[in-house]
Amino acid sequence: MLAGGVVAYADVASERLPEVAGGVGVVGAVLMAFALATRWKSAFPFGIALVAGSYAVYLGIHNGAVDQWAPAVAAALFASCELGFWSLERSPSRSESALLARRIAGIASGAVVTALVGALVLVLATGASGGVGLEAAGVAAAALAVAIIARLATRTSV
């Protein structure tokens, strides 16, 4: 569903050639659905790449400033990848509620960190200056990202 949102955004937001951006994304979404339905793990990354490619097509033909929704798109792609590969796993422990809650929290935190880091990079790339508040938010996002990465690096494999 999140990948479909990325495709829909790339298609609707495209001022020129929306059928190209949408077409690439639809092929990717269909490939993702096929991979999930048949449990064909090696096809899933190609579907994600095509969905991301639809956004790249949009950016390539986009006239104007940097896309302000790029961090949200990055978070949606991150969550789509994580949820898709989680669906493709064959794990007997899926029903344990503690494990399920921890995994969902990890995916949600990863998506939030992706969006925060993406927003920070976007602000730095555009050269916008938002004052002390924006810099404090950037420092907090970077610290949160480092803390989550450190936590993920030290935990045992699920």
**What's the CA angle centered on 2, arms 144 and 97, to 5 degrees?**
65
pLDDT at 71: 87
Q: What is the pLDDT of residues 101-114, one digit of tens each?
A: 888 888 898 888 88
DSSP string, 117-139: HHHHHHHHHHT---HHHHHHHHH
Q: How many CB atoms lie within 10 A of CB 11?
A: 20
pLDDT of residue 132: 64
**Helices 97-126, 131-154: crossing angle, 10 deg rounding:** 140
Neighbours of 112 (CB within 10 A): 17
- Please compute the mean of the pLDDT values over residues 125-145 and round it to a whole number: 68
pLDDT of residue 147: 73
Tokens of 85: 């590969």
**What are the pLDDT digits (tens) for 42-60?**
899 999 999 999 988 888 8
pTM of the shown model: 0.73
Percent of the chain with pLDDT over 70: 80
Residue 90 has pLDDT above 80, yes or no: no
**3-state SS of 31-95?**
HHHHHHHHCCCCCHHHHHHHHHHHHHHHHHHCCCCCCCCHHHHHHHHHHHHHHHHHHHCCCCCCC
**CA dist., res. 87 & res. 48, Å (int):** 14
* Range from 24-28, 42-46, 139-143 carrying the lowest mean pLDDT: 139-143
- The pLDDT, as a whole number, for residue 37 is 92
pLDDT at 158 exceeding the cut of 60 = no
